[in-house]
Chains A and B, each alone.
Chain A
Amino acid sequence: MSLRRWWCVLLLALAGCQPSHNPNAITLRIATWGTGEDDSDYAKKCDAIDHEFERENPGVKIVRETIPEQYVQAMVMAHVAGASPDIMMLDASSAAVFMNNGIVTDLAPIIAKDPEFRLDDYFPNVVDIARRGSAVYAIPQDFTPMVMYYNKRLFDRAQVPYPDGSWNFERFRQVARAVTINEGEKNERFGYAFSNWMPGWVMWLWNNGGDVLTEDGTRAAGSLNSPQNAQTFRFLRDLIEVDHVSPSPSMTAAMGVDPFVSGRAAMTISGHWSLIDYKNAPKDRNGQPKLDWRELGVTAVPHNTPLANTVMYESGYAIPTGCRHLDLAWRYVKYMTSRRVQMDYNSSGIAIDARKDVAQARAVDPLERAFLPLVATARAPRGSRVEGYDFVETQGASAMSSVLLNGADPLAALKTAAERIDLEFAKR
């Protein structure tokens, strides 16, 4: 073969390596967290929704960039490097760093010019998570308040009435005791499954009149180490060590599975996302699920305060300031948060839809309906206002660990945590 022929073969081969899609297509990059598993039902649903957008907008190519680890860091670095995606998912728990530092666009002027879009379609306190004055930095997609799940089957067996949400800490303790079954030194069934994950227990502090940070979010001393919080820590510790209504951390670890999902605990606090696990609960020897999700109830977290407080976690669509196709990005955000797309997207059941009409439509299911009354009093996570709030949560969990695992005095543990947080905040 002559040299010229070799060149022809090489050029043809290279031509074959060219991407097959339209070279003039506009690529819209969408950053999101998640596992990036291509074969999951969720991924297939997202692909189908994106393909529909591409079909409706010829010449547009949607590229989802899933970043399962260090999402916040990756997005900040992309901004610094001038390589931001066109759209990014914004998690309420870590939204402050993006909104406070001009990394995401204020959508209020765009919304004002767009007669097709109505912010009133969404739950107002959910929209407020990404609001700063008149600025709106994200359109919410879905959210969940943290709620108390209870297993009706276990309540029925113990002949204990279902909780109606009007309970205080002491009443909760009594209920938890009543549904706990002790056989000798072994607990056959626990009343409550406590987990040392601060986003899942912060509402206990609020519901006893305590808080984590000062009102302006700049200090922990005077809030986190308050007598009320120490009392709440003691209450939670005693549920494990005195009342034996909740497994200790080492017992939970030994079980190797969430005690609630395995039917070994009657109550737990979690978000809507847990329903996916509950619907796929492990099966017993007879092939029956250890937890039947149809026998689940949802109610407010116990509260010594006049109203039950809880936290809600939310995700929404934001447009980075480095977006290259602003109009198209807004069109995609509108498309994704529209009723027709959300009716399909939200059928996965991972969270409550941020659109009131979709959430109401899904509330034909009694379990779904039980979540809605808890939305109005749900608070935004402090991470949506305070940068680096994950450090606060790490220190909160450390304080709880030192109380539960090392027998530390609650007030001393909280004082240490508050000092560390304030030292960290002092760097800013």
Chain B
Amino acid sequence: MTRLQRRESLLGWAFVGPATAHLALFALFPIAYAAYVSTFKWNIANGHHAFVGGGNYAFSLREQAFWNALWNSFRYTAVGVPLGMALALAVALLVNQRLRGVTIFRTLYYIPAISSGVATAMLWIYVFLPTNGLVNVVLLWLHVNDKTHTTDFINNASTAMWVLVVMSVFTGLGPRMVLYLAGLVGIPGSLYEAASLDGASGWSSFKRITLPMLLPTSLFVLVTSTISAMQLFTPVYMITKGGPDMTTDVVGYHIYTEAWVDFNVGLASAKSFILLVAIAGISIVQFRLVRANLADYSA
């Protein structure tokens, strides 16, 4: 190795070193340590720990409450992600118009994304309050409710999950909209011009040009939104605490209570790895389903 090569090599290490060290210290080491902890029955309150090998994984997969949490996460994701994507696409199409002041709307829609998750969740509690919450006031105007019987959306087992879904659709709107907007800007105008010359209607152009050309963007939004939805925590912690009747006890919150309320850190670590495998599995399926069509379209 020449002197120049050695210097370049050192320079390269100097550039990647801090980031690698950060990654190793704050991501790889905790992951490895969590894997180690997951093989112990470990109560952090009394410090007792005993090696159980795969016992925590086997226990988790037999535990009804964990399956309930997985199911809750899945149904939250299955409803919230498609709804969120559809709304984001609709808003992106609207703010992609050449209208005066459209930048203001783009900014407004993005504000929830840069707001604190805790603060946003607090605001949504007020939206769904049984007495003077916005939704109940609207239902009162529409004569769906009367003054003596309002709906306690947050504490009702049949509506609590919808509270989280509606909240996530609106708070996730900004980032998804920006991604779709970028995708829309990247579609060549010539395609629409050619379609127009061929007499295609607006709906036809949307269905046959916009949607297919947005496929890579949609895949990205789908995968990232799914991962994020499966890890839901803050709104559950702030609004429902997993209730009522465990109907919003999603995996992220379930793992948190396992570790920091029940102090079973070994079991919580094992559940985290099961969640990792579940998310990876869902992502792989999503990639495979879309990949066949992906090669043909690119914005």
Residues of chain A having any CB pair with chain B under 8 Å: 70, 73, 76-77, 79-80, 97, 100-103, 186, 248-251, 253-256, 387-388, 390-391, 394, 397-398, 401-402, 405-406, 420, 423-424, 427-428
Contacts and interface: CB of A to CB of B under 8 A. Distances in A.
A420 B65 contact: yes
B156 interface: yes
A384 to B, nearest CB: 16
A166 to B, nearest CB: 35
B152 A73 contact: no
22 contacts: A73-B260, A76-B45, A76-B263, A77-B260, A102-B46, A103-B45, A186-B148, A250-B149, A250-B150, A250-B151, A251-B148, A253-B152, A256-B131, A391-B262, A398-B246, A405-B244, A420-B65, A423-B64, A423-B65, A424-B65, A427-B262, A427-B267
A381 B158 CA distance: 32
Contacts of B130: 250, 253-254, 256
Contacts of B246: 398, 420
Given A97-B263, A405-B156, 13 more contacts: A73-B261, A76-B45, A101-B46, A102-B46, A103-B45, A398-B243, A398-B244, A401-B157, A402-B157, A402-B245, A406-B158, A424-B262, A427-B59
B44 interface: yes
Nearest to A406: B157
A251 B147 CA distance: 9
Interface string B240-274: 00011110000000000000111110010000000
A256 B245 contact: no
Among B43, B148, B156, B267, which residue has the most Cβ atoms of chain A within 10 A? Answer: B148
When A and B form their complex, which 4 residue pairs have the shortest distance between CB atoms, in order from nearest?
Answer: A253-B130, A256-B131, A101-B46, A398-B245
Contact of B131 (A80, A97, A100, A253): A253
Contacts of B44: 76, 80
Contacts of A250: 130, 149-152
Contacts of B45: 76, 79-80, 97, 101, 103, 387
B96 interface: no
Nearest to B267: A427
B205 interface: no
Contacts of A80: 44-45, 47
A422 to B, nearest CB: 11
Contacts of A401: 155, 157, 244-245
Nearest to B131: A256
B132 interface: yes
A251 B157 contact: no
Contacts of B148: 186, 251, 254
B63 interface: yes
A423 B63 contact: yes
A420 to B, nearest CB: 7
Interface string B10-37: 0000000000000000000000000000
B241 to A, nearest CB: 8
Nearest to A390: B261
Contacts of A428: 43
A251 B149 contact: yes
B131 A255 contact: yes
Contact of B155 (A77, A249, A256, A423): A249
Nearest to B264: A427
B46 A254 contact: no
A70 B261 CA distance: 9
Contacts of B46: 100-102
Residue among A70, A76, A100, A254 with max Cβ neighbours from chain B (10 Å): A254
Contacts of B64: 420, 423
Interface string B42-85: 01111100000000000100011100000000000000000000
A241 to B, nearest CB: 14
Contacts of A77: 260
A378 to B, nearest CB: 27
B65 A254 contact: no
A321 to B, nearest CB: 12
A388 B260 CA distance: 11
A322 B262 CA distance: 22
Contacts of B245: 398, 401-402
Q: Of residues A76, A250, A251, which shows the largest number of chain B Cβ atoms within 10 Å of its Cβ?
A: A250
Contact of B132 (A100, A256, A390, A398): A256
Contacts of B65: 420, 423-424
B157 A405 contact: yes
B72 to A, nearest CB: 14
A294 to B, nearest CB: 29
A298 B262 CA distance: 37
A249 B153 CA distance: 12
A95 to B, nearest CB: 13
Contacts of B157: 401-402, 405-406
A232 B131 CA distance: 29
Nearest to B147: A254
Contacts of A253: 130-131, 150, 152, 155
A262 to B, nearest CB: 13
Contacts of B243: 394, 397-398
A428 to B, nearest CB: 8
B155 to A, nearest CB: 7
A103 B44 CA distance: 12
A329 to B, nearest CB: 22
Nearest to A101: B46
Contacts of A427: 59, 262, 264, 267
Contacts of B63: 423
Nearest to B265: A80
A136 B246 CA distance: 37
A272 B64 CA distance: 40
B149 A254 contact: yes
A108 B5 CA distance: 72
B246 to A, nearest CB: 7
A101 B263 CA distance: 12
A78 to B, nearest CB: 12
Contacts of B47: 80
Contacts of A398: 243-246
A391 B64 CA distance: 15
A388 B149 contact: no
A249 B151 CA distance: 10
A427 B41 CA distance: 9
A51 to B, nearest CB: 34
Contacts of A101: 45-46
A8 B138 CA distance: 66
A232 to B, nearest CB: 19
